[in-house]
Chains A and B, each alone.
Chain A
Amino acid sequence: MRGDHVHPARWYEVLMGDVVLELVGLGKRFGDRVAVANLDLTVRRGEIFGLLGPNGAGKTTTISTTCGVIPPSSGTARIAGHDIRTDTFAAKRAIGLVPQDLALYDDLTARQNLAFFGQLYGLGGAELHARIEWALGIAQLTDRSDEIIKKFSGGMKRRLNLVVGLIHQPTLLILDEPTVGVDPQSRRHIFDAIRALQGGGMTVVYTSHYIEEVEELCDRVAIMDAGRIVTSGTLAELTHAHGIALEVELEGDEVAIAGAVAAVAGFDATRDGRTLRFAQRDTWAPVVSAIEASGARIKRLGSQRADLETVFLALTGRGLRDA
């Protein structure tokens, strides 16, 4: 890591060799469209970092620019201290990309796929052979290694897709929706493999649409929308900061409900029909008082578990994303 490029707030992490991925003002435009806007992000060694976002949020573009698949329009990404713009090959060698697609050659065997991608990373001879056996073991495909993978199930292909990204034993593993379309057993196996890799010191960036997966796996999470990171932190930090803790269902006519909405304007509430949601649980007493003072009647008062999905929907909205 070169000192003149280090973000001032992270100098101590860099000095300790703790930062594996650092995005510094990373941006990507396609013509007039901003796909990724000025991202700053740090992932530390040994972390499993979740990247969440609705369709079109910019997750895949972020990954593509980080991996050097497409050049960034602004800023840069540093992987294990190597700048993807200026020290491209070293940065790429430090990354293992597991794309969302089953990016494999269907007409080759599992072993041939691993050999080919291993050779792209400069592996050869006994070392390549050993790595292939290691990867096949992780994917539990040793006994099927010489079969054309066209005949493999979706789960088997997913497992192979994962270990192809591991064949060169990267410092940073980037997983883009790695469990799409797999059976529960393969999903569990992939999770176990990721945890084992983390245990061995590997850093993982994990993107997924499945919020429960991110909740289960990740130490820290960033939520992206419209090319920006709208929030990031540990799960506890996010649910505390953004979790919806109090729900009040009202009854009465529209005038009464409008009066109640006006009365709680200072309490960070969102309205969904006749239901008001409040981010802070400890505000229930003044909220109830304000509603009653407005003349509206409370039909139901309850609290909602503040999970990552709640946070996600609160920050990115409930509208459908087709992009």
Chain B
Amino acid sequence: MFGPTIVKEIQLLRRDPRALVRLLALPVAFIALFGMVFRADADKHAPATPVAAWIDPQAAAGARIVAALDGSLRFHVVPVATADQVRRQVANETFEVGLIIPGNFAPTPGGAKAELVIDTGKPRPELEALRGPMTAIVTRAVLGGDAVDVITTVAPPGLRTPVAQASSFQMTVPGNAVLFGFFIALTCALSFAEERRTGTWRRLLAAPVAPWRLLAAKLIPYVALGTIQVGLLFVIGAVGFGMRVGGSIPALAVLTVGVATCATSLGLLLAAVSTTEKQISSLGSVAILIMGLVGGCMLPRAIMGPTLQQIGLFVPHGWALDGYNTLLVRDGAGFADVAKPIAAVYGFALAFMVAGLRRFRFDQ
């Protein structure tokens, strides 16, 4: 019973090109797109930001400041004739940032300050990304002497170190794999609706097979398909986009099976609460996208507000991504490190399954 049904479901899926596009082609495109948007290694390749600079020849530290900025690889000084010209060129967006060092510049309390010319209406992270390094470089140049690092970065005990050469794909591959992995729920629920619409479900119920076996045989292929889908996306991420896996592959597999089971259970629930294919499509798409959004599939939860970060843990996506992030980013991470996310994902799967079974009507 299981074998023929699984074969039948796979035969049907093979002949549904839209499903294959939804399950593989779209997520790969999104991984590439999001990967470019969130390039974490951008600093290594980005050109130095040109700085329109007017430095009064009388300014004592002027030469040191120019040398420090040029030597930082972060900025590149472009001399401009006057201070007003600096302001105009930033205002008309010829330059993103400008620097004016007046002749009476003095790094002492009450002394004249250097002027950082920048659109203060920029988003705060963007503004700080320019202001912070600029302030640090100019301050160190003015203070003179050998630069001394006064801060060192140390991971606390018990927290595994991140993998070397991590890229933005460490984030975008699992994000999109989970987002699109949950679309299996839609495919699964639609297959139930189609069986009911065409009458094949009635024919199946008339066969000498226990209803629970019919149900299980319909769901198992989707768990398998979801696992293969997410697994393939990880392989494509690793081979095609250089994503690295720092942690345990078996733990990654167990989490992936959990995600696929959870998505399939959600599909059963969708099929149980909806009566038509239109209802499933609209309700399912909205639910899956919202869950993906708050769960951090499209934007990392880390950059969300604290409330939204907590809300993200009320959907399986949030937990799944926490688990994947640990396994992909942390060297040597194993089952113990992701026990909580794995338990949460399987818990959601169980909850969806129980709710779906309670509402599912075999005879409709």
- Chain A residues in contact with chain B, CB under 8 A? 64, 67-70, 88-90, 92-93, 95, 97, 99-108, 112, 115-117, 119-122, 148, 164
Contact = CB atoms under 8 A, between A and B. Distances in A.
A115 B209 CA distance: 16
B11 A108 contact: yes
Contacts of B208: 88-90, 92-93, 120-122
Nearest to A94: B208
| Ranked 8 nearest A-B pairs via Cβ | A101-B199, A103-B199, A119-B4, A89-B208, A92-B208, A107-B15, A120-B207, A103-B203
Contacts of B15: 107-108, 148
Given A88-B208, A101-B198, A102-B198, 5 more contacts: A93-B208, A95-B206, A103-B200, A107-B11, A120-B4
B209 to A, nearest CB: 6
B363 interface: yes
A64 B202 CA distance: 8
Given A92-B208, A120-B204, A106 B4 contact: no
Max chain B CB contacts within 10 Å: which of A95, A119, A164? A119
A107 B200 contact: no
A120 to B, nearest CB: 4
B207 A105 contact: no
Interface in B313-341: none
B205 interface: yes
B43 interface: no
Given A116-B4, A117-B207, A69 B202 contact: yes
Contact of B202 (A89, A103, A108, A164): A103
A97 B203 contact: yes
Interface in B186-209: 198-200, 202-209
Contacts of A64: 202, 363
A212 B200 CA distance: 28
Contacts of A101: 198-199, 202
A120 B209 contact: yes
A90 B208 CA distance: 7
Nearest to A150: B15
Given A70-B363, A100-B199, A107-B16, A112 B206 contact: no
A95 B208 CA distance: 10
Interface string B7-18: 110011001100
